[in-house]
Amino acid sequence: MPADQLSTTFAALADPTRRAILASLTTGEKTVSDLAEPFDMTMPAITKHLKVLEKAKLIERSREAQYRPCRLHPEPLKDIDEWIEKYRKFWEASFDRLDDYLKQIQAKKEDNDGE
Amino acid sequence: MPADQLSTTFAALADPTRRAILASLTTGEKTVSDLAEPFDMTMPAITKHLKVLEKAKLIERSREAQYRPCRLHPEPLKDIDEWIEKYRKFWEASFDRLDDYLKQIQAKKEDNDGE
DNA sequence: AGGTTAATTAACCTATTGGTTAAATATTAT
DNA sequence: ATAATATTTAACCAATAGGTTAATTAACCT
């Protein structure tokens, strides 16, 4: 619901149908019918998912005769990758070490506070 | 809404308040009041956000006297990182090259299909 | 022109989200 | 015991999400 780009991207990815659509587009451009085929879902439902992906700028669309082919537009994933990068050190540390790390940071902060 | 873990994690991250809470926890354990302080929002709203993060296993909670301190549990972010990793080549290629890449993959596929 | 295929729009429904206020619970401190 | 602090629960509300069916638009093919 929030308007910021990162939230919109995360929200678009928070649905397995939409992630499957993106995966399907990694092998090239697809029509709406192509994309709909694997799912037990009506076409309008797929149209809606595509709208969500388009608003999140994760896909782009064109026109060819009666088809509206979709293709992957992966750039917003880069932003997610950058966001998540700041957390990598936290999961790469073993659990116990993370605990130490946090305690250490906490100690440093309290030191700065003059506590 | 979908029950799968990846969807739950993406959904939890699709809110700027919750991402800010996670960022705040990178400097160590915090109480609910600590976490709530920066936001123009009532405590129950924060409690709800914490529940979402807890269900997504992005935070863990304990008890100390009347406090319920929260700490970061970054492991689910690893799954997101792995998911997104499969798309890295798509945003790292320049746009034109991506187009070539997709065409190439498409051609290969059609070749396999014997078309 | 008429029919078929591709896709979208409109109208609707139910469940969930993100917030609120007011009341309840738990723990500490006096 | 009582009061104060920290947090949660309950009940409510408006907006959004994800789906449906039915109708509409657009382009193609005879």
pLDDT, tens digit (0-9, with 9 covering 90-100), for A78-110: 999 999 999 999 998 755 555 665 555 655 555
Task: Encode pLDDT of B61-110 as tens digits.
Answer: 999 988 999 999 999 999 999 999 999 999 987 555 556 655 666 555 55
Is the Cβ pair A26, B90 closer than 8 Å? yes
Q: Are A77 and B91 in contact (CB under 8 A)?
A: yes
In chain B, % of residues over pLDDT 90: 73
- Pick among B87, B100, B111 to test the A interface (most A CBs inside 10 A): B87
Residue of A nearest to B87 (CA): A74
Q: What angle do CA B96, B100, B102 make, to 5 degrees?
A: 115
Residue B102: closest CA among B112, B115, B89: B89
Check if residue A105 sits with its Cβ under 7 angstroms from strand D: no
- CB under 7 Å from strand C: A 1, 31-34, 43-44, 46-48, 50-51, 61, 66-69; B 1, 11, 14-15, 17, 40-42, 44-45, 48-49, 52, 63, 65-66
Is the Cβ pair A103, B77 closer than 8 Å? no
Q: Are B58 and B78 in contact (CB under 8 A)?
A: no
Task: Encode pLDDT of B24-47 as tens digits.
Answer: 999 999 999 999 999 999 999 999
Look up the pTM and report it: 0.85
Residue A101: closest CA among B27, B100, B22, B21: B27
Separation of A57 CA and C4 C1' (Å):
33
A60: confidence class by pLDDT, cuts 50, 70, 90: very high
Distance from CA of B46 to the nearest CA of A (A): 16
**Number of Cα atoms under 13 Å in the Cβ half of residue A106:** 11
